[in-house]
Structure 1
Amino acid sequence: MAASSKKVIYAALIGNALIAITKFIASVITGSSAMMSEGIHSTVDTGNQLLLLLGLKKAKKPADKEFPFGHGKEIYFWSFIVAIMIFAVGAGISIYEGIHSLMDPHPVQNPIINYVVLGLAMIFEGFAWYFAWKEFDQARGDRGYYEAIRKEKNPTLFVVLFEDSAAMLGLIVAFLGIALGQFTGLHIFDGIASIIIGIILGITAAWLAYETKGLLIGESADPKIVTGITNLANNYNFISGVNEVLTMHMGPNYILLNLSVNFENTMDVNNIEENISTISSQIKKEYPLVKRVFIEAEENDR
């Protein structure tokens, strides 16, 4: 999963960097506010890919005394920072640029340059979007798209997909804004397009922040895993009942498990220690994402 995440991020990073440079050159030549907003958008996206790569690198740091469960949540933190960057920088500057253009509207020079740049950007962004969607579609399995986004524990997949989707919408809006301004002679459409691009980025940022917040705080494992662990524990004849199965994702590939069970009264302390070791090993074998298991033994009063 980590290798796939990096491929998606690198593809988006290269594409956005090239597109950003092209858009800024076009905005300087033509004076288009919408194109300037698109250039800012692509620059923010490029920076976001770097932040995600930083998060993946930091998440690999081994556990230590200060962080006994590792640094897996680094990727959640940096994904949340990406959402803030999109909102504060991308959306904020785009809306500001649009308002400034509305207050002082001016014609877009050489609009054909913008059309060529936007067309090329759509091709590059479309490729990056398809690559991100393909990886996300593979990771979601048999889950629905909405459920997959809500339950996905690797935020890099849907963060890049959301960014690329917002980029595609922004390109369409920029194209329409420039075209309407050219054919109607009303120069305000360029500024309106810039504001709409900012709104799209703001909505995207809010949704990403909402989705990554739960991961950052600490979401439980997939319900199927919780149910599977419960059933596995109940199948042992030395366990008379399962009280609680508490899980938390410490990273995309790291689940912390606390299992509270009732042991049969016929067992002594040595039996309990041996059986705890047995069930811990079996859980880790059946569910490789479970890295640490804590079992709370309670005596059955029956």
Structure 2
Amino acid sequence: MSASGGTKAIVAALLANVGIAVTKFIAFLLTGSSSMLAESIHSVADSGNQGLLLLGGKRAKREATPQHPFGYGRERYVYAFIVSIVLFTVGGLFALYEAYHKWHEGGGIDEYKAVPVVVLVVAIIMESFSFRTAIVESNHVRGNQSWVKFVRRAKAPELPVVLLEDLGALVGLVFALFGVSMTLITGNGVWDALGTAMIGVLLVTIAVILAIETKSLLLGEGADEHDVAAIEKAVAEGPEVERIIHMKTLYLGPEELMVAAKIGVPPCDNVEKLARDINAVEDRIRAAVPLARVIYLEPDVYNPAAAGRADAARSEAGTDEVSGRAGG
């Protein structure tokens, strides 16, 4: 995923949310609408979240150290996970808290009745431009994936986070407009509280989705099936390798993949030739999957009997694991 594309989408969302937050808060001060207050806090939270994503992207570029020999690329996942926590607490839970109080206190909108409607309509327009930027930048890297698969499978967290935040912001604005409009029509503040509660449930839902996806990235994800197949083909297509005994992949960051494999090679007494052969295999892997920047290949002589025993042991362990989950 393009880091520059993600940064462009983040900056567009940040600028939109700062402007929207100010106008929403002014509308809240003038009208006392709980929907406007919830939306104000939502925009403030989103602005802070975009700042966190930019900070995470900057810190992830630090050079590797002896203590962190694989670099800091996964720090982008840490900040994306923090974003989900902020969205859950500052956005979602605050909106639900405000809805609870508004529901019991009641009260309509008695002054500046046109202000919240105008502010919300303008905010919808501004947020739509931000959402459009996120869609355009995502389409550069999404390929033929559905939007659901893109959000679930993307290794760079910024664009999926901005997409979900902008989508949540647009839907939340519609909920706020519904609550405010019905309050103005009926004079009953319960509608305002209902709109606020809808915003809270929406934000909590989006925050949970983001937390689940970023948690998976934090734990460590391997390459997708397409890249695994490309790596296997690159390893096996030359004369240097008889077969892949086993292989594992792991994303060290959104733009750096580690490949570790034990490969069966023909018997060889020439160490220099073996080293050249391994280098040739590494070059093919990098040509096939450019993100495969850290590669560890262990040459071995393939023993079918030993491999069969290892496969049986792994199969038995997998069966036991499944049985344990089913029993639990």
TM-score range, shorter chain: over 0.9
**Match of residue 158, structure 2, among 156, 159, 167:** 156
What is the aligned residue count? Answer: 302
Aligned to 2:324: none
Residues 1:135 and 2:137 aligned together: yes
Which residue does the alignment assign to 2:223?
Answer: 221
In the alignment, structure 1 residue 82 sits paired with structure 2 residue 75: no
Report the AA paired with residue 219 of structure 2. Answer: I
1:148-187 maps to which residues of 2 (within 5 A)? 148-187=150-189
Q: Say which of 203, 212, 224 aligns to 1:201.
A: 203
The alignment partner of 1:292 has SS state of strand
Q: Return the letter of the residue paired with 1:204.
A: I
The range that moved more, 150-159 or 234-243, is 234-243
**Aligned residue type for 2:156:** N
1:250-286: CA deviation from partner (whole Å, max 9, x where unpaired): 1111001102111112454332222111211222233
Distance 1:243 1:292, change over 3 A: same
Q: Which residue is 1:50 aligned to?
A: 51
- Structure 2 runs not aligned, ≥5 long: 305-328
**Partner residue of 1:24?**
25
Aligned counterparts of 1:267 and 1:77: Cα–Cα separation in 2:
47
Which residue in 2 is equivalent to 1:298?
300
Moved more, 30-39 or 138-147: 138-147
**TM-superposed deviation, 1:111:** 2.2
Output the aligned Cα RMSD: 1.2
| Residue aligning to 1:238 | 240
* Residue 278 (str. 1) matches residue 280 (str. 2): yes
> Which deviates more, 9-18 or 217-226?
217-226
Report the equivalent of 1:12: 13
CA contact (8 A) 1:24 1:35 kept: yes
The one-letter code sitting in structure 1 at the alignment partner of 2:68 is F
Match of 1:68 in 2: 69
Q: Is there any run of 5+ residues in structure 1 with no aligned partner, and where?
A: none
How far does the alpha carbon of each residue in 1:52-71 deviate from its partner, in whole angstroms, 9 at most, with x for none? Answer: 00000001001111111110
The amino acid across from 1:3 in the alignment is S
How many angstroms apart in 1 are the aligned matches of 2:247 and 2:5?
A: 30
**Aligned 8 A contact 2:18 2:47 in 1:** yes
2:101 matched residue in structure 1:
100
Structure 1 position 300, deviation (Å)? 2.4
Equivalent residue for 2:260? Answer: 258
SS at match of 1:221: coil
Partner Cα distance (1:240, 1:299) in 2? 9
Percent same amino acid at aligned positions?
Answer: 35
TM-score under structure 2 length normalisation: 0.90
Mapped to 1, the partners of 2:269 and 2:44 lie a distance apart of 64
- CA deviation profile, 1:74-120 (whole Å, cap 9, x unmatched): 10000000000000111111111111111101111322100110011
How many Å separate the matches in 1 of 2:102 and 2:56? 37
CA distance in 2, matches of 1:27, 1:267: 79
**Normalised TM-score (structure 1):** 0.97
Letter in 1 for 2:283: S
Deviation at 1:185, TM superposition (A): 2.6
- 8 Å CA contact 2:234–2:288 kept in 1: the answer is no
Could you tell me whether the CA contact under 8 Å between 1:111 and 1:178 is conserved in 2?
no
